[in-house]
Amino acid sequence: MATTAILFPGQGSQTPEMRDLVAQLRPDLLELALEIVGDDPFELVDHGTNYAQPAIFCASLAGWEALGRPKGEYMAGHSLGELGALVAAGALRERDGLELVALRGRLMSEAGEGGMLALIGEGAAEQAFELAERHGLAVANDNAPQQVVLSGASAAIPAAAQAAKELGLRARELPVTGAFHSPMMAAAAPEFAAALQRVDVTTPRVTVLSAVTAEPFVDVREQLVAALTSPVRWRETLLALHARGVERFVEVGPGKVLTGLAKRTLSEVELVHA
């Protein structure tokens, strides 16, 4: 049987039907989300990261449930998805994971204004770092060879977009109000680090790769904090999993974002989604 990695998506993967899936398969998790968030995060998912992150976290665990809780030999998560992967792997308790996700979403929402710019097209991965450096931005998400996201001050986004277009890339400003995965998120780190110190972290049942290092987690608390300001090295994480013998990638949802990125990054692998 093929070596399998279970993938947990990040923000931007929400779907209209994900609340129904959680209500059907994990009503207890829906109740917990209402308690922790204070509002229904699914109804407010487009109103900010403080709602989107807990909603997607719950929907991902429900998607994992829908597939019969497959474990695989490896797990990995894109940004927010790292917390879902760590819960599924047994490194974090579910309630602790959801409380951390809700806090993370709120802190990122409050960390200050900024913008993000998606670069799409042949050569995006090769051009992104030079573009970011030239315009005072950071590479936030290295998603696939043809998709990289820059992050930073809103004022720098238009010039970077124009420069990207002159290089033959498509440039699309993302509908967010924060410069996620950039130094502008540093204000979120201290409170998130303090919260992580208050939860139990145990050895995961399966190997979970960090998208900060594209290697297995070594210090879960330290690396989750680092993920706030560090790039999501998703392309490298997929390549690292493949190099470890993974031939089957299962995205637990919601949506098919990670399946699409895997298709653009790897060839001759099996792709499954919830």
Residues known to be catalytic? 79, 181
| Start-to-end Cα distance in the chain | 19
Residue 117, CB half-sphere, CA atoms under 13 Å: how many?
30
- In the chain, the amino acid numbered 127 is Q
Give dist(CA 118, CA 71) in Å, integer: 32
Pairing relationship of beta strands 246-251 and 3-8 according to DSSP bridges: parallel
Give dist(CA 115, CA 191) in Å, integer: 23
CB of 5 within 8 A of CB of 74?
yes
Q: What is the DSSP letter of 232?
A: B
Mind spelling out the 3-state secondary structure of 115-178? EEEEEECCCHHHHHHHHHHHCCCEEEEEEECCEEEEEECHHHHHHHHHHHHHCCCEEEECCCCC
Instruction: Categorise residue 195: left if φ over 0, alpha if ψ from -120 to 50, beta otherwise.
Output: alpha
**CA-CA-CA-CA torsion for 54, 45, 72, 231, nearest 10 degrees?**
-80
